[in-house]
Chains A and B, each alone.
Chain A
Amino acid sequence: MESLYAVTTGVLSACGLFLTLRGRTFPVVVGLTLLSYAVNLFLFSMGGLTTDGAVIVDGPSDYADPLPQALVLTAIVIGFAMTAFAVILAMRARGDLGNDHVDGEDNREDRAS
């Protein structure tokens, strides 16, 4: 399970990073979303992965660390709100600047026309 978990987190963050570095706002927003998923998964695993353990301390040996679960909940809420804000901002930028390039102007289009 550990390796599957690690690969999933890695692939998500790699895709997220790649998309965040794109030039248009839509891929950037999708990339940020993927990045926040990856981070949430990572946070979730930071207390160590346990299967079939009780969430609350249920004896000295077999329990899942409850703190990361509380943290990841906070992180999800904040990440979700931020994504919503970024989407609205990207739409506003598209409307105000006339295109969806992150720099507000697309040089390739200028050259073509």
Chain B
Amino acid sequence: MIQHLIVLPIVLPLVVGIILLRGRGGATRPKRIIGVTATVLLVAISIALVAQAASGEVTYYALGDWQPPFGIVMVLDRLSALMVLLTSLLALGCVVFACGGDDEQGSNFHGLFQWQLMGINGAFLTGDLFNLFVFFEVLLLASYALLMHGGGKARIQAGLHYVVLNLAGSALFLIAVGVLYGATGTLNMADMAQRLASLPAERAGLVSAGGLMLLVVFGLKAAILPLYFWLPKAYAAAPAPVAALFAIMTKVGIYAILRVYHLVFGDQAGALAALDQPWVWWLALGTLVMATLGVLSARDLRLLVAYLVLISVGTLLAGIGMRSEAATAALLFYLPHTTLVTGGLFLLAELIGKQRGKAGTRIVKGRPLYNASLLGVLFLLGGAAVAGLPPLSGAIGKALLMQAASAEQQLWLWPLLLLAGLGSLVALSRAGSTFFWRSHEGEPSGQPLAKRQLFGVTWLLAAAPLLVVLAGPVSDYAQATAEQLGEPAVHIRALLPETTDGDEA
């Protein structure tokens, strides 16, 4: 059993998703129980995976026992274990929240949700470029359906843009994979990294074209500056638990950039090393600026949170753009914080909107809230964490990142990052004071909070104080992960022991 652990985060959601397809009717009690149990199991599995990866050893699972570079492999290292754990923690909050009623708005919510998890986990674990494409498609297909869960004009319209853009992105992904295969003759990332070291000079142009095309695709997923325009509308229109789960989707793009440009285009690639770095650094700073403007101009809480996701994308990508071990460690500390907290804020926005009747999540004067004090405290917690105020986790992540910047980079990063924090703070305090203080006279409206929904929100927002308490171990793990990423040779040797030995001999 233990040797199959690596493939379980993919197989479990697949099987559970198929089981949940039985009966098209709305969400019934057994479906909810199955969905939540599977997600709890996923959390347990991913904790075991983190424990396995924490030793620093790179392990892999060869499907059908076809050894790399020929077979399909799932690779587990510290980074992928961290991402899978993060996904499962986020998913647990989302799925419990959805059991509070959102899953009844359309059919097959829980099945699609599990398949979405399968795609995300697969993308984090795969060691093969073409399988990365396949898992991207799996997670996208599920996300198309989830985005439009419940229907409605806004969702259909945002969904159409999202689908068309991603289909075009998939076409580009395939072209890039094709170019890279044509030039290197392999799709296994470790093998490709090895072959790039001895690449004939006339093929270097082809490989860099393929590599940069991949950056466009990953940038579209991560929502980097010229490719982010789909994100705010889609995230604001999606049902709350889906929008919260989508908080990890941009991180799939960020993970892919980290993985491909550290492993394949790592130091051993010679002139092709760090192909992405100049692009990512400047575009990340641009993303930060645009996202801050977006946050300040948002007139709806959900749109505001969607722009907060963009700020976090800009911050993380700036960390990638710095390309130093300290910066990678800092961004890996910031990543769990921002994913869980923005996810929690999406859920919180839904709760606030429900209690305000017609005004919904629009930032206008509305009726007083039924649970004003409880929601207010949660909003304060989430807002302070996401804006990066001490003593919560956002402040630590940002401080680490700013510390990691070199003198020249500090000149750009410090003002932009701090202004982004200030912008979020201004926008969030305006939204919060409108919601909780500037209400009409009269009786509070809405129903009391459902316990499940409250659990989902607290589960995710609890990350902010918890990551402060656990800052020591988490940053140690992040540091170790960054070290591991900086040594692609170890990764390659773990996957391809024979060929590397042959080269040395």
* Partner-B contacts on A (CB < 8 A): 16, 20, 25, 28, 32, 35-36, 38-39, 42-43, 46-48, 67-68, 71, 74-75, 78-79, 81-82, 85-86, 89-90, 92-93, 96-97, 102-104
B290: chain A residues at CB < 8 Å are: none
Whether, in the assembled complex, B156 has its beta carbon less than 8 Å from a beta carbon of chain A, the answer is yes
**Contact: A46 with B153, CB < 8 Å?**
no
12 CB contacts below 8 A, A to B, read A25-B160, A48-B182, A67-B181, A74-B134, A78-B170, A81-B141, A85-B163, A93-B156, A93-B160, A96-B153, A97-B157, A104-B153
Q: Is B300 an interface residue (CB 8 A)?
A: no
User: How many angstroms from the CA of A67 to the CA of B157 in the assembled complex?
Assistant: 38
| B144 touching A85, Cβ below 8 Å | yes
| B97 contacts partner chain A, Cβ-Cβ < 8 Å | no
With contact pairs A96-B153, A104-B153 given, residues A35 and B178 touching in the complex (Cβ less than 8 Å): no
Q: Provide the B165-200 mask, 1 if CB < 8 A to any CB of A, else 0.
A: 001101100110111011000010000000000000
Structural contact, B174 and A75, CB atoms closer than 8 A: yes
A43 touches B174 (CB 8 A): yes
Interface SS of chain A:
helix
Query: Other CB < 8 Å A-B pairs besides A47-B181, A89-B148, A104-B156, 19 of them?
Result: A20-B168, A32-B164, A38-B171, A42-B174, A42-B178, A68-B178, A71-B181, A78-B134, A78-B137, A78-B170, A85-B163, A86-B163, A86-B167, A89-B159, A89-B163, A93-B157, A96-B152, A97-B157, A104-B157
- Which residues of the partner chain A approach B151 to less than 8 Å between Cβ atoms? 96
Pick the contact of A46: B161, B171, B178 (CB < 8 A). B178
* A97 smallest CB distance to B (angstroms): 6
Q: Which of B134, B170, B175 has a CB less than 8 Å from the CB of A42?
A: B175
Flag whether B130 is at the interface (Cβ < 8 A): yes
CA distance A1 to B178 in the complex (A): 19
B170 cross-chain contacts in A, Cβ below 8 A? 78-79, 82
- A residues less than 8 Å from B164 (CB atoms): 20, 28, 32, 86, 102
Known interface pairs A42-B175, A46-B182, A78-B134; A102-B163 also in contact (CB < 8 Å)? no
Residues of B near A36 (CB, < 8 A) are 167, 171
Which residues of B in the span 122-145 have a Cβ within 8 Å of any Cβ on A? Answer: 130, 134, 137, 141, 144
B182 and A82 form a contact (CB under 8 A):
no
Interface residues on B, range: 20 to 34
Closest-CB distance, A39 to chain B (whole angstroms): 5
**Chain B 473-502: CB-based contact to A (< 8 A → 1; otherwise 0):** 000000000000000000000000000000
Please name all residues of chain A whose beta carbon is closer than 8 Å to the beta carbon of B182 when the two chains form the complex: 46-48
Interface class of chain B by DSSP: helix
User: Distance in Å from the Cβ of B224 to the closest Cβ of chain A?
Assistant: 21
Q: B179 to chain A: which residues have CB within 8 Å? A: 46
Contact of B153 among A79, A97, A102 (CB under 8 A): A97
Chain B residues whose C-beta falls within 8 Å of the C-beta of A48 in the assembled complex:
182
| Cβ–Cβ contact B171 & A39, under 8 A | yes
Separation of A78 and B177 alpha carbons in the complex (Å): 15
Chain B positions within 8 Å of A38 at CB level: 171
Chain A residues closer than 8 Å to B141, beta-carbon distance: 81-82, 85
Q: Of B130, B156, B167, B168, which is within 8 A of A96 by CB? A: B156
Q: Which residues of A contact B181 (CB under 8 A)?
A: 46-47, 67-68, 71
Taking CB atoms, residues of chain B closer than 8 Å to A20 are 164, 168
Please indicate the chain A residues that have their CB under 8 angstroms from the CB of B167 in the complex: 32, 35-36, 82, 86
Query: Of all chain A residues, which has the CB nearest B136?
Result: A78
Residues in B with CB closer than 8 Å to A89 are 144, 148, 156, 159-160, 163
Which B residue's beta carbon lies closest to that of A104?
Answer: B157
- With a cutoff of 8 Å between Cβ atoms, the chain A residues found around residue B130 in the complex are 71, 74
- Which of A38, A89, A92 counts the most chain B CB atoms within 10 A? A89
Residue ID in chain A nearest B138 by CB atoms:
A78
A101 to chain B, nearest CB (A): 10
Expressed in whole angstroms, the Cα–Cα distance for A79 and B175 within the complex equals 13
CA distance A85 to B137 in the complex (A): 13
Beta-carbon contact of B168 and A103 below 8 Å: no
CB-CB under 8 A from A47, the residues of chain B are 181-182
Across the two chains, which residue of chain A brings its CB closest to B174? A39
Min Cβ gap A63→B in Å is 14
Chain B contacts for A46, CB-based, 8 A: 178-179, 181-182
Tell me, rounded to whole Å, the shortest Cβ–Cβ distance linking B153 to chain A: 6
Q: Mark B214-225, 1 if CB is under 8 A from A, else 0.
A: 000000000000
Q: In the bound complex, how far is the Cα of B156 from the Cα of A67, in angstroms? A: 38
Complex alpha-carbon distance, A24 and B338, angstroms: 37
Chain B residues with CB under 8 A of A103: 157
Measured between beta carbons, the chain A residues less than 8 angstroms from B159 are 89
CB-based nearest A residue for B160:
A93
CB distance from B140 to the nearest CB of A (A): 9
Residues of A within 8 A of B177 (CB): 43, 71
Cross-chain contact A35 with B171 (CB below 8 angstroms): yes
- Complex Cα–Cα for A48 and B160 (A): 36
CA distance A54 to B252 in the complex (A): 39
Q: How far is the CA of A97 from the CA of B151 in the complex (A)?
A: 12
